Amino acid sequence: MSAHSTSFLFRIWPYLALTLAGAGFAVRLLLTSDRVPAVMRLLPRARRVFLGGRAWLAAWAALAAAHAAGLLFPRAILAWTRTPWHLYLLEAAGFLAGLAVIGACFRSAWAHLQEPARNRWSLLADFADSVFLSFLFIGVASGLLAAGVHRWGSAWGAVTLAPYAASLAHGRPEPAFVAHLPLLVRLHLFAAFAALALFPATRLAAYPIVLAHRALAAAGRGLAAAARPIGAWLRRVPAARLWPDAEVRWLAKATAGEGPKPPAPRSPGWAPRIARDASAGGGAKLPGGKVV
């Protein structure tokens, strides 16, 4: 493998995949801010295709727990596998979990192909689901083959993959840990990061998106509740000093039109007589004998 491809695959590609995953999730979260019910309608199909029953979820959870233990506690894994039967037991358990997950991948692919296209069909979502399932299968299959061909991966993985993951977490990637590993292991790493980059575009991402919207709504309600006493204090203390209460009341009365009204103009003393004469008919007589 050339130095350029090694630098891209093990220095740039992991961070690029994480950036694509984060940006894709943020964009989809913003685009669905006013369409949460539409996102929730994707959950049944995502459950049928990706999750399945409890057995498949248990297989995925066991495989994820095994990878997490190897990456987070490499020294404990090395210490535990010094005993031969401990090593055999751990390798057998990991291989069985990988076989179960391969079965889960086949079931997900079959369920994806069997889903009717006419029911809320989306070309982009179907394409993203297909590519995501393909990378999942490549990652799991390459890891399973690597465990079968290059045995005792729990031992050599603790001194290669775990330090490489730690270097990525610290922002100083060290490709030397994994650049000379077998092709199946390198393919396993690449497919895992590719599946992570595609995850926000899939229907499976509807689950964390709905949870994020609910968390944001709960946080908004919490912020509004926390702001109420602050607003009451602002109205009571600083506002009373900046705008004295008496002046505020006076301004409010003036602007509301509740001030003293000017006296109505007095009508002349002859106005009622003009009105009586006009009502009797024959016109109204003004002083001086003129009739109007």
Closest CA to 173 of 67, 14, 31, 33: 14
What is the total count of domains within the chain?
1
What string of pLDDT tens digits covers the 292 residues of the chain? 666 677 788 899 999 999 999 999 999 888 887 788 888 888 888 888 888 788 888 989 999 998 999 899 999 999 988 888 988 998 999 899 999 999 999 999 998 888 765 555 577 888 899 999 999 999 999 999 998 888 888 888 888 999 999 999 999 999 989 988 899 999 999 999 999 999 999 989 999 999 998 888 888 887 777 777 876 766 666 555 555 555 444 444 444 445 555 555 554 544 444 444 444 444 444 444 444 4
Within a domain: 172: yes
Within a domain: 119: yes
Q: How far apart are CA 154 and CA 86, in angstroms?
A: 11
Within a domain: 268: no
Within a domain: 108: yes
Instruction: Specify the pLDDT at position 225.
Output: 78
Instruction: Specify the pLDDT at position 261.
Output: 57
Query: pTM (2 decimals)?
Result: 0.73
167 is in which domain, residue-wise? 3-203
Instruction: Specify the pLDDT at position 229.
Output: 80
Q: Which CATH number does the domain housing residue 144 bear?
A: 1.20.950.20
Within a domain: 285: no
21 contact partners, CB below 8 Å, separation of at least 6? 196, 197, 199, 200
Instruction: Specify the pLDDT at position 241.
Output: 57
Beta bridge partners of 291: 285
- 10 Å Cβ neighbour count for 266? 7
Instruction: Specify the pLDDT at position 137.
Output: 94
